[in-house]
Amino acid sequence: MIAAAVVFLYLALVLYIGIFAFRRGTAKAEDFFLANRSLGTFVFLLSLFGSNMTSFAILGSSGLAFRSGIMVYGLMASISGIVIPLSIFFIGTRIWAIGKKFGHMTQVQIFRDRWEMGHIGTAIFVLQALMLVPYIIIGVMGGGETLEGVSNGAVPYWIGGLQLQWNPFDWGRAAHDRESLVLERDVVIAEAQAFADALRRATTRDLATIDRLERVLAADDEIVVLREQIVRETMARFRESTITASELVDRETDLLSARIARGLHRVELAQARASYLTTLGLQVN
């Protein structure tokens, strides 16, 4: 919370300075946008530093460095320490002198007067808006992330920023996304119906197999009982010496075959029941 208190104290100080400057300023646009062209070197450097210390520079560069490596800081340092100062020295000072001489306050006014063409100013304005709006949105979002982080969630995200997304090349994309969602929904419905049909066919097949094997096992039980009775009768006749030993062996072989067939059918029934449970997604014990 100490970090959050420092941030809010800084914001209060900025607000006080703004109110103080507003009361001492004039009602001219030049005073509002350019501080009446009276910024000193120290205040100008502070303003330049504050303009560069944005969400992109602080939060974005840190995230990019975490993902890509320490070379990102070399890139940021070269831009802030070389490109921007040289641009201000060779280009900014000349534009400042021209603007002060002819009363220009924006880049649009400079280009429009230089080439005496109104359309070029409109084109530059549109280009600046397309480049500036995402930059402003990133700043607002970064403010929300920062305040939520330094306050450990005491200051919610929506107070410090807004979750915004803006892309000029996405116009009309919402309708396309809705059409894609409808198509995906139709595909999911068709796949679900196909799965349900396949599941119904599989369960019907498994149930038919189970029913057939249960009937076969019932018949096997009857056959085994009959074979056991035949073996008992054959054994009695063998003891009376009315049949040979080979006939007794044949009857016992028939009984053994019937018992083996019944055992195989029991295994097949267990497999069919396990397959049915697996088809339904149940655990097989």
| pLDDT reading at 251 higher than 50 | yes
pLDDT, the chain, mean: 81
| Radius of gyration of the CA atoms of the chain, in A | 44
Query: DSSP per residue over 97-151, as a string?
Result: HHHHHHT--SHHHHHHHHHT-HHHHHHHHHHHHHHHHHHHHHHHHHHHHHHHHHT
Class of CATH domain 177-279? mainly alpha
Give the pLDDT score at 163.
47
The pLDDT tens digits for 6-65 are: 777 888 888 888 787 777 766 677 777 777 777 777 887 888 777 777 777 777 788 888
207-210-212-216 Cα dihedral, nearest 10 degrees: -170
CB atoms within 10 A of CB 57: 15
The total number of residues written for the chain in this structure: 285
- Alpha-carbon distance of 24 to 16, in angstroms, equals 12
153 SS3 class: coil
Q: Where are the alpha helices (DSSP H) in the chain?
A: 2-24, 29-34, 41-52, 55, 61-68, 71-78, 84-87, 93-102, 107-115, 118-150, 157-160, 173-239, 245-279
Q: What is the DSSP letter of 81?
A: I
Average pLDDT over residues 181-186: 87
State if pTM tops 0.85: no
| pLDDT reading at 124 higher than 80 | yes
Provide the pLDDT confidence category of residue 199 given band limits of 50, 70 and 90: confident
Q: Which of 127-136, 148-157, 164-173 has the highest mean pLDDT?
A: 127-136
Classify the C-alpha dihedral 49-55-56-60 as positive or negative.
positive
Tokens of 253: 């072989």
